[in-house]
Amino acid sequence: MTHAPQPVRLADYTPFGYLIDSVALSFTLHPTATRVKSKIAFRPNPDQDATDPRFFLHGEQLTLISAAIDGVPFAPVVTDAGLSCPVPDAPFVWEAEVEINPQANTALEGLYMSNGMYCTQCEAEGFRKITYYPDRPDVMAPFTVQIDSDLPVLLSNGNETAPGQWTDPWPKPAYLFALVAGDLVAHSDHFTTASGAPVDLNIWVRPGDVDKCAYAMDALKRSMRWDETEYGREYDLSVFNIVAVDDFNMGAMENKGLNIFNSSYILASPETATDKDYLWIESVVAHEYFHNWTGNRITCRDWFQLCLKEGLTVFRDQQFTSDVRSAPVKRIEDVIKLRARQFREDAGPLAHNVRPEQFIEISNFYTATIYEKGAEVIGMLRTYLGADLYRAGCELYFNRHDGQACTIEDWLACFEEIAAVDLSQFKRWYSQAGTPKVSASWRRDGDSLHLSFSQQVPPTPGQPMKEPAKIPVSLGLLAGDGTEILSSTLIDLDGPSLDLTFDLAALSGGTAPDHVVPSILRGFSAPVVLDMEMTAADRALLLAHDTDPFNRWEAARSLLKEVLVAEICHGEAGQKDARAMVWNALQDFCNDTTLDPAFIALVLSFPSEDDLTQATVDAGVVPDPTLIAQVRDARMRDVGAWLKPTLEGFIDAVDPDAPFSPDAASAGKRALRNTALSLLSSPSDLARAQDAFASATNMTDQLAALAILIRCGDRDAAAAFEAQWQHERLVLDKWFMISVASAPSAEALDTAGALSHHALFDWKNPNRFRALIGGLVANPAAFHDPSGRGYDFVAKWLIRMDGANPQTAARMSSAFDTWRRYDADRQALMQNALSRMAASPGLSRDLAEMVSRMQAA
C-alpha cells in the first residue's frame, strides 16, 4: 500500500531556484532502449521569491545511465519521482544519460510508439518520462535536439539545421517539447506572413493517408491569416509541421512548431469524413495554431493557470469558426456543448473553479470547465469591454508578457489598465465553481414594464457559500405583434438582484403595445441557467420573431423540453393540446424560406436524453432513462408526421448529384436533410432511410442514415457498413460508436458485449476504446439499464484501461458523475461500480482521484 498522494496547491507556488540558459538533447532511438543525453546550462535564479534553493529534477520511469555536473561524474540518489543533489552556487552544466522504453509506453505520455512511429506527448507532465528536468511551465529555455535513427523523417521543434538536428530559438517550457520519427510523407504548402516572411507548411501522415490532408492544410492557412488580421499575431519560425498519429489521448497538442494531432482531427475525404469531422478539423487545427501565441509565446506560470491558455484559445477558435462559418449556428452549437458537458460537470461532484486551487493529478483538469467555461469568461470580458478595448487589452498582454509564464492576474491587469476598470468582482468567475442561476420575472403596470432579476450561485464541493457573480445579461423587448421595441441592451447583474423599469410608450414611439415579451440572455451572454416563467405562446412569439437567432432557437428548445418533460413527469394524458401548439409553432417557423438550413436543423433537433434527464430532475422527479428515451423517440415521430410535407421538401432540396463540398452552406443543407430524415423514420417506415443509406455518396449522409437504421432496429445496414469500411480505421471507429450509441437500449448492451470481442476492437487505441465504451455511455437507457449491466461493463473496461492508459480511463470515468440523479437502486449500483474501481489493485493516481471525488458526499 502506497501513501495517498498529496494535493498540489496554488497557494504553495514558489519559483524554481534556477534558470536555464540552454538545453541540448540527443536521442538515439530504439523501440525498447532509447538513449537520451541531456546537457543543460543552469544558473541560480536571482528572483528574490525563489526561496527554495533545493535543486530537484523531475524524472519518472527512467533508467539513469550517467550524470555529471560541470563534467564531473557522480551517482545521484533517485526516487520514483526524480532526483535532487548538491549543486554549485554559480552557473553550472548538468549532463545526464537515461534509457527509456517507448514500446512499453501504453500510457501515451512521454515518448511512445504508434504504428511503428515514435512520437511524444509532454503536456502536462510527460517530459519527466523522457529525461530528468525541472518539468514545470515557468522554467523556459531554448532547446537544440539531435535525433539518431534509421527512420526517414526526423522532426522536432523549431527549424531544422541539419538532417535530424533541430534548433528552437524561442524559449519554451518542457511541456511544449516534441519529437517525431517515422516513415511519413508530407502534404506540403507555403505561407507568407503579413510582414513577408516565408513559412514552409507540412502535414506528416502515413503513406496511404496523404490524400486526406487538403482540408486541414486549408484550415491551417486560413487560421494563420485570421490570427494576423484579428489579433495582429504572426507566425515566428520558417517551418510549421503537423503530424497525425493514430494513438493519442486527446484531440491535439500545440508543441512549438510541431503540432501533434490525433489523426481523427486531420484526415478527411468526402467518403470517409462527415461534415462534423470537417468542422472539428477546422477548429482543432485553428485551436492548436492559435496556441502559438496564447500558450507558447506566453505560457502559464503553473498548471492552476491552465485556463489562461485554454479558455483564451478556445475563445479564439470559436471566434474563428464564427467568422468563417455562421456565427449564430456556431453560438448555438457551443451552448449545446457547454450545457451538455460543463453544466453537467458544474452541477455534480466534479465541479471545480475555472482556476482550480488544488489538484492531485493535473491531467484530470483538462475539463469542460477549464476549456469551455474558461472561454465563456473571456467572451464575457469582451462583452463588457467591447471589441475595441478587448483588442487593445490583448495587444498590451502580447507586448508586455511575450516570452513569459503568466497568471490570470497578469491577463486581467492588462484590461484593467487599458479600460480603466476594476475587474475584482468579475474575477469571481475564476474562483467560484457552480453555474449561477438567474431568475427573471416581469410585471406590467400601465405603460411601464417592471423587470426583476436575481441571481444565486449554488454550493459546490468545498464551496458552500458564494458571492454574487458579475453577469452580463443582454436584453431585448418584443411587442405582441412581433416588432422589436427595444434592441439588444446590456444589463449588468452584479448584485443579488436588480430591478428595471421600461417606459413602453416611449420605447414604441407613442402608444404602449398591449402585450410585450422580453427576450432575455440574448446570444447566451453569460454561462448561467435562466429561470423564468414564460407562457408557451410567448415562447412561440420569440421563436417566430426574435431578432436574436440564439433566443429564437432557445425558444424552440424550451418549448420542446417543456412538453417532453411534462409527459415524462406526468404521463401522456392532457399533453395533446400543448404538443399541438408546439408542433404548429415549429411548422410556422419552417415556413420561412429565407432561413439558413443549418439553423432550421438546430431548431428541429430534439434535446438529448441527458438534457431531458437533468430537466426531469430539475422538475423534482426521479428520472427513468428508458421512459425518457421512449418519450423522446415517440415525439420525434409525432413531429415527423405533423411536418411531413415540409420535411420531405427539405430532403428533396438536396441535389443528390451535386459534387460534395465541405463548406458551411452545403453542410447545412445536409444537416437539415438528415434531421428531416430522422424525424420521418420509424421502425415501420424505413424505406427512405434505407434508400438514403444505399445511395449515399458521402460519409455524412451514409452515417446519418446508418444511425437511423440502427435506432430503428435494422442491423443489415450495420453489417454492410462494417464490410465496406473495415480497413478504414477512423470510419470503423464511427461504426463501433454508433452500433452501440444509436441502438435501442434492449440491444445495446448485448451489442457492446459482442463488439468487445470483435477482432478489430483494439482497446488500447484510445479512439477505438472511446468509440465502444463511450458509445455505451452515450446511450443513457442502456448505460443505466436497471440490471446494472451497463455500469458493470463500463467499470470493468475502465479498470482494464487504467492499467495501460490512466489518462484515458480517468477521463471516461466521469460517466458516473451523475449518480445522485437516480433512484436508490441505480445509485447503489453506480456507487458499487465506483467502489470496485476504487478497490482495484494498482489503481492509477488519475483514476483514484476521479473516483474519490465522485464518491465524496
Chain positions contacting Zn ion, by CB under 5 A: 310, 313
We find the least distance from the C-beta atom of residue 132 to ligand TRP, in angstroms, to be 21
* Residue number with CB closer to ligand TRP (250 or 520): 250
Taking the C-alpha atoms of residue 586 and residue 798, their distance in angstroms, rounded to an integer, is 42
- Cα four-point dihedral sign 457, 340, 223, 654: negative
Cell numbers at 197, concatenated:
516572411
Q: Which of 60, 109, 288, 554 is catalytic?
A: 288
User: What one-character DSSP code corresponds to residue 339?
Assistant: I
We find the least distance from the C-beta atom of residue 379 to Zn ion, in angstroms, to be 16
**Residue 249 lies near ligand TRP (rule: CB under 6 A):** yes
We find the least distance from the C-beta atom of residue 366 to Zn ion, in angstroms, to be 8
- Cα four-point dihedral sign 729, 735, 740, 742: positive
For ligand TRP, the nearest residue by Cβ is: 250
Contacts 24+ apart (CB under 8 A), 45-53: 45/15, 45/16, 45/17, 45/18, 45/19, 47/15, 49/14, 49/15, 50/14, 50/15, 50/16, 50/17, 51/14, 51/17, 52/14, 52/16, 52/17, 53/17
Cβ atoms of 228 and 204 closer than 8 Å = no
Neighbour count for residue 824 (Cβ, 10 Å): 8
We find the least distance from the C-beta atom of residue 289 to ligand TRP, in angstroms, to be 10
Taking the C-alpha atoms of residue 353 and residue 377, their distance in angstroms, rounded to an integer, is 12
**Residue 363 lies near ligand TRP (rule: CB under 6 A):** yes
**Residue 846 lies near ligand TRP (rule: CB under 6 A):** no
- Residues in contact with ligand TRP, total (CB under 6 A)? 14
We find the least distance from the C-beta atom of residue 374 to ligand TRP, in angstroms, to be 11
Each residue 307-326 as x (binds ligand TRP by CB under 6 A) or -, in order, gives ---x----------------
**Residue 361 lies near ligand TRP (rule: CB under 6 A):** no
Give the interface segment with ligand TRP, choosing from 248-256, 340-348, 443-451, 685-693 (CB under 6 A). 248-256
Cβ atoms of 714 and 708 closer than 8 Å = no
* Residue number with CB closer to Zn ion (291 or 734): 291
* Residue number with CB closer to ligand TRP (288 or 302): 288
Each residue 124-153 as x (binds ligand TRP by CB under 6 A) or -, in order, gives x-----------------------------
Residue ranges of the alpha helices (H) in 503-661? 504-507, 536-545, 549-570, 576-590, 597-604, 609-618, 625-642, 644-652
DSSP codes, 608-632? PHHHHHHHHHHTT----HHHHHHHH
Cell numbers at 661, concatenated:
463540398
* Residue number with CB closer to Zn ion (291 or 401): 291
User: What one-character DSSP code corresponds to residue 124?
Assistant: T
The one among 366, 390, 426, 583 contacting ligand TRP by CB under 6 A: 366
- Cα four-point dihedral sign 277, 279, 280, 281: positive
Cell numbers at 255, concatenated:
508543441
We find the least distance from the C-beta atom of residue 316 to Zn ion, in angstroms, to be 10
- Hey, which residues between 253 and 282 contact ligand TRP (CB under 6 A)? 253-254
* Residue number with CB closer to ligand TRP (306 or 478): 306
* Residue number with CB closer to ligand TRP (202 or 296): 296
User: What one-character DSSP code corresponds to residue 466?
Assistant: -
* Residue number with CB closer to Zn ion (295 or 775): 295
Cell numbers at 809, concatenated:
480511463
> C-alpha angle with apex 740: 736 to 741, nearest 5 degrees?
105
We find the least distance from the C-beta atom of residue 247 to ligand TRP, in angstroms, to be 12
* Residue number with CB closer to ligand TRP (307 or 752): 307
User: What one-character DSSP code corresponds to residue 670?
Assistant: H
Give the interface segment with ligand TRP, choosing from 13-21, 119-127, 220-228, 423-431 (CB under 6 A). 119-127
Q: Which amino acid is at 585?
A: A
We find the least distance from the C-beta atom of residue 57 to Zn ion, in angstroms, to be 27
**Residue 246 lies near ligand TRP (rule: CB under 6 A):** no
**Residue 121 lies near ligand TRP (rule: CB under 6 A):** yes
Instruction: Please choose which of ligand TRP, Zn ion, none residue 298 contacts, taking the beta carbon within 5 to 8 angstroms, the exact cut-off set by kind.
Output: none
**Residue 292 lies near ligand TRP (rule: CB under 6 A):** no
Each residue 784-823 as x (binds ligand TRP by CB under 6 A) or -, in order, gives -----------------------x----------------
Neighbour count for residue 474 (Cβ, 10 Å): 20
* 160 in catalytic set: no
Instruction: Please choose which of ligand TRP, Zn ion, none residue 346 contacts, taking the beta carbon within 5 to 8 angstroms, the exact cut-off set by kind.
Output: none
Cell numbers at 609, concatenated:
436524453
> C-alpha angle with apex 818: 814 to 822, nearest 5 degrees?
145
Radius of gyration of the chain (CA): 28
Instruction: Please choose which of ligand TRP, Zn ion, none residue 474 contacts, taking the beta carbon within 5 to 8 angstroms, the exact cut-off set by kind.
Output: none
* Residue number with CB closer to ligand TRP (287 or 297): 287
Taking the C-alpha atoms of residue 440 and residue 526, their distance in angstroms, rounded to an integer, is 14
Taking the C-alpha atoms of residue 818 and residue 507, their distance in angstroms, rounded to an integer, is 46
* Residue number with CB closer to Zn ion (313 or 318): 313
Taking the C-alpha atoms of residue 823 and residue 788, their distance in angstroms, rounded to an integer, is 13
Catalytic residues: 288
Residues forming contacts to ligand TRP in the complex (CB under 6 A) are: 121, 123-124, 249-250, 252-254, 287-288, 310, 363, 366, 807
